[in-house]
Amino acid sequence: MSGTTASTPPGRPAARRDGRRDRWDAHKAERREHVLAAAVAVIEEGEAGAEVPVSAIAARAGLSRTVLYRHFADRADLDAAVQAHIVQQLFDELLPAVTLEGSIGDIIERIVATYVAWSAAHPSLHRMIESDLGPGGGAVTQGTEVVAGQVLALIVAALQLLGAEITEDDAAVLDPLTHGLVGAVVAAVRRWLALPERRPDAVVLAETVTDSVWYLLDGHARALGVELDRDQPLADLFEDPAPPTAPAADGAGSTT
């Protein structure tokens, strides 16, 4: 019939195009991660808050500026991506510490000590993620939202285990209080990092901040009629632990 041409079976050309596109997308993602890793390395080598030229990032990545900017719209896009990359590194360290394992004192100490240790080891990265790149605030501000949400869930779970009677107003105020608590820890570490001499040392700072968080939580718990024991493992408060021999259903699991 006029107007027709022989062709391969339906779907094959599209499949080849999709395969090429997938490989190209994977290549671009890999190259982008390579650039971000190079940026982090350059930032780590410099003083906290020092300007980092794009040329230095490109050189570390083994690329020209032109090739680098094929993966980012502009410098602002690059900076935002670097911030997000660093925040993810921090989250990889911090979020596993936000669990109900151990006593209340253990939980507070674990979270605070992890954050202080990471910040002390990476002051330039901490300064970078504090930079305000837009109306939404810096990456630390955005990251605080995530961490505060995790801590809020932890506090609610702990209060439930302790049998606290929480009114609607109590529940409503927990959100801003938790965000304020996390923000206070971030602010204390920020100030400590900015001091000409970081005194006290990181261990003492973490211990002091841990104590401050405990005093705040203990005070609010008392107002709710709950007596906290800083050293009591929260596992002791579970009234009905799961039978140790019960088989797990497919796809089911437990987390702590």
> How high is the pLDDT of residue 163?
80
> How high is the pLDDT of residue 256?
39
For residues 169 and 160, the answer to whether their CB atoms sit within 8 Å is: no
Q: Does the pLDDT of residue 238 top 70, yes or no?
A: no
> How high is the pLDDT of residue 140?
64
The domains of the chain are located at 22-72, 87-235
Total-model pTM: 0.79
Q: Does the pLDDT of residue 79 top 90, yes or no?
A: yes
Residues of the chain above pLDDT 70, percent: 82
pLDDT, tens digit, for every residue of 1-12? Answer: 444 444 555 555
Q: Does the pLDDT of residue 86 top 80, yes or no?
A: yes
> What rounded mean pLDDT belongs to the chain?
83
> How high is the pLDDT of residue 154?
85
CA distance 210 to 185: 9
Question: Who wins on pLDDT, 162 or 81?
Answer: 81
Other CB atoms closer than 10 Å to residue 224's CB: what's the count? 13
Instruction: Render the burial of 132-159: b for 16+ CB within 10 Å, e for the rest.
Output: eeeeeebbbeebbeebbebbbebbeebb
> How high is the pLDDT of residue 248?
42
Question: Who wins on pLDDT, 99 or 205?
Answer: 205
> How high is the pLDDT of residue 146?
86
> How high is the pLDDT of residue 235?
80
* DSSP state letter for 3: T
> How high is the pLDDT of residue 201?
96
Confidence of residue 246 (pLDDT cuts 50, 70, 90): very low
**N-terminal to C-terminal alpha carbon distance within the chain:** 68
Nearest to 215, CA basis, from 205, 204, 230, 202: 230
87-235 and 22-72 share a CATH fold: no
Q: What is 213-248 written as a DSSP string?
A: HHHHHHHHHHHTT----TTSBGGGG-SSPPPTTPPP
> How high is the pLDDT of residue 134?
61
CATH of 87-235, one of 1.10.357, 1.10.3470, 1.20.120, 1.10.287: 1.10.357
pLDDT, tens digit, for every residue of 158-215? Answer: 888 888 888 888 888 999 999 999 999 999 999 999 999 999 999 999 999 999 999 9
Q: Does the pLDDT of residue 69 top 60, yes or no?
A: yes
- Range 121-128 average pLDDT: 94
Nearest to 35, CA basis, from 16, 15, 55: 55
Amino acid at site 52: V
CA distance 60 to 140: 26
- Range 35-39 average pLDDT: 97
Is the torsion defined by CA of 119, 125, 127, 128 positive or negative?
A: negative
Confidence of residue 28 (pLDDT cuts 50, 70, 90): confident
For domain 22-72, is the CATH number 1.10.10?
A: yes
Q: Which of 8-12, 35-39, 53-57, 178-182 has the lowest mean pLDDT?
A: 8-12
